[in-house]
Amino acid sequence: MTQQAHHHRRLSHPTALPQRLLRARHRNSVGALLVLVLAAVMIAASASIHLYLWGEDDGYRAVPTIGPLFLAQGASGCLLAVAIVAARRFVVTAAGCVYMAFSVGGLYMSMHGGLFGYPETVDAPWVKTTLLVELIGLVAGIGACWSALSPETEAING
């Protein structure tokens, strides 16, 4: 059986794709690892910004609903950044992409009508930096996920 036919047969099985996603690992190439580390660093930076803003004397901890979300986002982002580098699995990096997408989405919603009744402006402290960090992290995470699912990586993963 040719490699292409074998590849098609594996993906045509109903459980092939979920199993493939769960076991997919990132390549060991320098470029792939740099993109993966960049995604993790940007997630850690986003988490740190949220923790910093939550912890200030006049910070977000005093804002109902938003305050606890900032704390949860900061703590979970720190854990996720470490897990991405330690596990080097597609599913963990994909979770990082979801984390960043929700963070960008929440900030966008707060700037365009308010989130949980709390409006934000682009001129508020850390908003532009946060958007830049999160967009870079999201793009790097998507790149790392793409790399983990490339045909060359599948040959490595078996």
The reply to whether 50 falls in a domain is yes
Residue 8 confidence (pLDDT)? 47
The reply to whether 60 falls in a domain is yes
The reply to whether 21 falls in a domain is no
- Look up tokens 């910070």; give the residue: 59
For residue range 95-141, list pLDDT tens digits in order: 999 999 999 998 998 888 877 777 777 888 899 999 999 999 999 99
The reply to whether 3 falls in a domain is no
Instruction: Enumerate residues 6+ apart whose C-beta is below 8 A from 133.
Output: 42, 45, 46, 49
The reply to whether 119 falls in a domain is yes
For residue range 52-97, list pLDDT tens digits in order: 999 998 888 888 888 899 999 999 999 999 999 998 888 999 999 9
Tell me if 107 sits within 8 A of 120, measured CB to CB: yes
- Look up tokens 């060991």; give the residue: 28
The reply to whether 110 falls in a domain is yes
More confident residue, 156 or 88: 88
Instruction: Enumerate residues 6+ apart whose C-beta is below 8 A from 87.
Output: none
The reply to whether 4 falls in a domain is no
The reply to whether 66 falls in a domain is yes
Query: Does pTM surpass 0.75?
Result: yes
**Rg from Cα positions in the chain:** 18
Give the domain range for residue 94: 29-157
Domain count across the chain:
1
What is the token pair recorded at 97?
Answer: 């992409």
